[in-house]
């Protein structure tokens, strides 16, 4: 396990240690015996479709500033995952969407993240640049800037969307980085 920094117990203030607890390595306070559970971050996003095109946003922020991505971001406290995808699409592209279904669940255990991408339709085809986007644009399959994609999670979702579209059946796809 990678230990990012010194962590102190939120119960008693003593420094925690990493040791086996309940069958796996966890941060534990040996003073008050509190186990500090950590959980992955959920990233909610949308693969938005308008006519024969998909929405991509060029990132205005790090990481991967200047690269293209599906609109996505961390789920907020007390937010449903589909509401997070709707919010992120509005924040990044100024676009209103209707969620259809989950298209991908993509695990990145090394980064402690789980991406949930929804297949969605743009309500009116109107897109803008949000604060986190340099540019927002609609692309046909042939126009996708594959070599300029910010994250493998977006590439994974797009590949499966286009494969499903050719078959006329949209499935939910499970993936993990690195892909094998």
Domain boundaries, the chain: 1-38, 41-176
Q: What's the pLDDT score for residue 19?
A: 94
Closest to 34 measured CA to CA, from 49, 21, 43 = 21
Q: What does pTM read for this prediction? A: 0.89
- Radius of gyration of the chain measured on its C-alpha atoms: 19
Strand partners, 72: 45
Bridge-based pairing of strands 97-108 and 173-176 is parallel
Lowest-confidence segment of 120-124, 128-132, 162-166 by average pLDDT? 128-132
In angstroms, how far is the first alpha carbon of the chain from the final one? 23
CATH 2.20.70.10 given to domain 1-38: yes
- Specify the CATH number of the domain 41-176: 3.90.79.10
Look up tokens 């939120």; give the residue: 10
Neighbours of 19 (CB within 10 A): 11
Q: What's the pLDDT score for residue 5?
A: 65
């Amino acid at each position: 396990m990678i230990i990012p920094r010194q962590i102190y117990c939120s119960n008693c203030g003593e420094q925690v240690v990493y040791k086996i607890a309940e069958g796996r390595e966890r941060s534990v306070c040996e003073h008050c015996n509190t186990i500090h559970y950590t959980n992955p971050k959920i990233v909610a996003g949308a693969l938005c479709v308008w006519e024969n095109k998909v929405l991509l946003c060029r990132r205005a922020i790090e990481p991967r500033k200047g690269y293209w991505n599906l609109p996505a971001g961390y789920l907020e406290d007390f937010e449903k995952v589909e509401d997070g995808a709707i919010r992120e699409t509005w924040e990044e592209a100024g676009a209103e969407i209707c969620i259809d279904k989950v298209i991908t669940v993509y695990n990145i255990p090394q980064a402690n993240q789980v991406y949930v991408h929804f297949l969605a339709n743009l309500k009116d085809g109107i897109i803008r640049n949000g604060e986190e986007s340099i540019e927002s644009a609609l692309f046909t399959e042939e126009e996708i800037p594959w070599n300029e994609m910010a994250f493998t999670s977006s590439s994974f979702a797009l590949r499966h969307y286009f494969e499903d579209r050719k078959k006329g059946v949209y499935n939910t796809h499970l993936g993990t980085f690195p892909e094998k």
